[in-house]
């Protein structure tokens, strides 16, 4: 497997961390979201994700599919070390929201719940071939988590 694809597919190696590698991949995504200037909006400016965030999610998704496909041949379908899909799903969850502790922790928790339980059609989407199946369920989990997070934030506003 190409070294660059391996590094990307494993979330810069977080997929090799012990116990719940998907959670480590999600933590990496949250850290990047909070740390990269302009990725998350400033508090009070939350709303629709900015162009940079949308492009980052689309580009990462476009990279995730072939990277996950290559990693699948080495590790197996949606194996633990493959966490680039968690990065995509986690970014979808928090996109457009300020990187506050409530958003980051709540988004992490909700995304992991939806990723683990895979409500319809997330579970079924894993049957897609290669990287498509590895990434699709996390995109769907990210959408569900994004909706749930926004509802909860509105309730506690």
Terminal CA-to-CA distance of the chain, rounded, Å? Answer: 47
Reported as a single tens digit per residue, the pLDDT across 97-125 is: 999 999 999 999 999 999 999 889 988 88
How many domains are contained in the chain? 1
Between CA 79 and CA 142 the distance in angstroms is: 19
Q: What is the pLDDT of residues 124-138, one digit of tens each?
A: 888 888 889 999 999
What pLDDT, on the 0 to 100 scale, is given for residue 1? Answer: 58
Per-residue pLDDT tens over the stretch 49-78: 888 899 999 999 999 999 999 888 888 777
Domain that holds residue 128: 3-155
Does this model's pTM top 0.75? My answer is: yes
Distance CA 139, CA 2 (A): 25
Residues 59/63/83/151 CA torsion (nearest 10 deg): 30
From residue 29, alpha-carbon distances to 50, 74, 90, 124, 155 in Å are 17, 23, 6, 24, 25
The answer to which of 25-34, 47-56, 85-94 has the lowest mean pLDDT is: 47-56
From residue 80, give the alpha-carbon distance in Å to each of 75, 94, 95, 112: 8, 23, 25, 14
Integer Cα distance of 100 and 111 in angstroms: 16
The pLDDT-based confidence of 4 (bands split at 50, 70, 90) is confident
């Amino acid at each position: 497997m190409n070294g660059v694809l391996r590094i990307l597919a494993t979330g810069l190696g977080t997929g090799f961390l012990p116990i719940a590698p998907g959670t480590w991949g999600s933590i990496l995504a949250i850290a990047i979201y909070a740390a990269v200037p302009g990725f998350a909006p400033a508090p009070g400016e939350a709303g629709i994700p900015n162009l940079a965030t949308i492009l980052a999610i689309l580009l990462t998704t476009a990279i995730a599919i072939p990277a996950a496909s290559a990693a699948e041949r080495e590790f197996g379908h949606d194996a633990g070390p493959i966490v680039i899909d968690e990065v995509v799903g986690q970014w979808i969850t928090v996109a457009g929201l300020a990187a506050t502790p409530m958003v980051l922790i709540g988004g992490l928790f909700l995304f992991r719940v939806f990723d683990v339980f895979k409500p319809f059609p997330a579970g079924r989407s894993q049957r897609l071939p290669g990287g498509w199946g590895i990434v699709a369920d996390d995109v769907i989990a990210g959408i569900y988590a994004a909706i749930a997070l926004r509802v909860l934030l509105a309730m506690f506003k």
